[in-house]
Amino acid sequence: MYKFSIFKRLFLKNNFNKNEISYKNLNIINKFSNEQNKILYRRSNNINFKKQRLISISIKQARIISLFYFNKT
């Protein structure tokens, strides 16, 4: 049962392409941020360095355009 939950978590979080990561796709951005809209670490996301960099850039772009909040209050 423990192995299944780890597999399910890894499969759900990593089931996206590099082309889907953009500041417009808020569903993916919300998966990689916590309740305070901080960017989660790469180790907790279980993704590689390139995808983590793309995610952080897209979150920062969405914050600047005001699609994504800097902090939830």
Which is more confident, 71 or 2? Answer: 71
Answer whether 0.85 is exceeded by the pTM.
Answer: no
First to last CA, the chain: 36
Span 16-71, pLDDT tens digits: 677 778 888 888 888 888 888 888 888 887 888 888 899 999 989 988 888 877 77
Q: Say yes or no to pLDDT of 10 above 60.
A: no
In the chain, domain spans: 2-64
Topology classification of domain 2-64: 30s Ribosomal Protein S18 (4.10.640)
- Distance CA(71)–CA(10), nearest Å, equals 27
